[in-house]
């Protein structure tokens, strides 16, 4: 049996970052414009801190202006809303990203809707959600767009394919479904209450997994020849790696798909790490670049 080909997200993401960096240098040279991203982090969630640090580092490496504002865990919703208002009015800020999740006392929907939709580089504002579902120009949520880019590059035309999206989140599942629909796929959105989930998965030519349950999707859930995109990033104990200095078990990252089993059935599969993950920040840079061009009335680069 031939094993699935690996879709190399790291390589795809590197190409996007290089193209963005080139466009940024052209904007600087020709228009004295430096696209700039402000990331707001509330609290000290370790995973969020890692993501935010990478977002800042990669935007700087692409030649963009990069600013991270770190607020205390206990900041009031009103203070956060006031900060967003200030950033909306600051013409030197082209993109605003508030890292999610937010502490429980802050209403995420209120915060997202306070961001100027034209600076919303996540594409989470309801105006941008509406634009996406109606086919208007909008910033496209970074992770699902990364999945789509890899699918297009790997499979070409997606017309007529059966796609199953295992997630109904606003960040991944719903925008992913909208994007696949716009590529003429027949789309099913599945979730924790979906009946006969394994059978639904077996019907899918394209399977997008983003449930956050380590290795939940087994090899025999995969249709032979399917393309599997694993958005999950889960940390599990890795006894084979031994112990940390404090005696705890070492860990490793796995996706929502049992990779070793699934690769025996699939034609193409993304690994974890090194699959979807790197595409998210690459597309954040792309969205920031495009937002800057739109705000200044310049032609958008075709990336
Ligand atoms: N938390 C996890 N993923 C994301 C993302 O894509 N954007 C934001 N703002 N927060 C996140």
Which numbered atom of ligand 1 lies nearest the CA of 141? 6
Find, among 214, 129, 117, 133, the residue nearest to 180 by Cα: 133
pLDDT at position 217? 98
Single out the catalytic residue among 118, 119, 120, 122.
122
pLDDT < 50 regions, the chain: none
Question: What is the C-alpha separation between 125 and 138, in angstroms, rounded?
Answer: 10
pLDDT at position 146? 98
Closest-CA residue, ligand 1 atom 3, reads 100
Pocket test for ligand 1, best of 50, 99, 123, 128 (most atoms within 8 A of CB): 99
pLDDT in tens, 16-75: 999 999 999 999 999 999 999 999 999 999 999 999 999 999 999 999 999 999 999 999
Q: Could you give phi then psi for residue 217, rounded to 5 degrees?
A: -90, 115
pLDDT at position 228? 99
55 catalytic? Reply is yes
Whether residue 101 is preceded by a cis peptide bond, meaning omega within 30 degrees of 0, is yes
pLDDT at position 267? 98
pLDDT at position 30? 97
Q: What is the pTM (predicted TM-score) of this model?
A: 0.97
**What are the CB-based long-range contacts (under 8 Å, 24+) for 43-50?**
43/71, 43/72, 43/73, 43/102, 43/103, 44/73, 45/101, 48/99, 48/101
DSSP 8-class letter at 188? E
Find, among 285, 295, 299, the residue nearest to 94 by Cα: 295
- Measure CA of the first residue to CA of the last residue in the chain; give whole Å: 37
C-alpha 274 to ligand 1 mean position (Å): 18
44 catalytic? Reply is no
C-alpha 100 to ligand 1 mean position (Å): 5
Find, among 163, 84, 175, the residue nearest to 130 by Cα: 175
Closest-CA residue, ligand 1 atom 9, reads 99
């Amino acid at each position: 049996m031939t094993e699935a080909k690996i879709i190399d997200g790291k390589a795809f993401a590197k190409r996007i970052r290089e193209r963005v960096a080139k466009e940024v240098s052209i904007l600087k040279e020709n228009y004295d414009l430096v696209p700039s991203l402000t990331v707001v982090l509330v609290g000290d969630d370790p995973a969020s801190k890692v993501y935010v640090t990478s977002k800042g580092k990669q935007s700087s490496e692409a030649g963009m202006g990069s600013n991270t504002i770190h607020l205390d865990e206990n900041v009031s919703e009103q203070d956060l809303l006031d900060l967003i208002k200030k950033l909306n009015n600051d013409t030197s800020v082209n993109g605003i990203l508030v890292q999610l999740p937010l502490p429980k006392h802050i209403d995420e929907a209120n915060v997202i809707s306070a961001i100027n939709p034209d600076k919303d580089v996540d594409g989470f504002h309801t105006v941008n959600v509406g634009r996406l579902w109606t086919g208007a120009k909008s910033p496209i949520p970074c992770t699902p767009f990364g999945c789509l880019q890899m699918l297009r590059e790997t499979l070409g035309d997606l017309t007529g394919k059966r796609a199953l999206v295992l997630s109904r989140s606003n960040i991944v599942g719903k925008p992913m479904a909208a994007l696949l629909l716009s590529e003429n796929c027949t789309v099913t959105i599945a979730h924790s209450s979906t009946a006969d989930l394994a059978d639904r998965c077996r019907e899918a030519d394209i399977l997008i997994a983003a449930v956050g349950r380590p290795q939940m999707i087994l090899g025999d859930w995969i249709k032979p020849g399917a393309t599997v995109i694993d958005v999950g990033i889960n940390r599990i104990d890795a006894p084979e790696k031994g112990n940390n200095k404090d005696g705890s078990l070492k860990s490793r990252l796995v996706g929502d798909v049992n990779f070793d089993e699934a690769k025996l059935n699939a034609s193409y599969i993304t690994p974890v790490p090194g699959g979807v993950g790197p595409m998210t920040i690459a597309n954040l840079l792309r969205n920031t670049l495009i937002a800057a061009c739109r705000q200044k009335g310049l032609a958008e680069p075709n990336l």
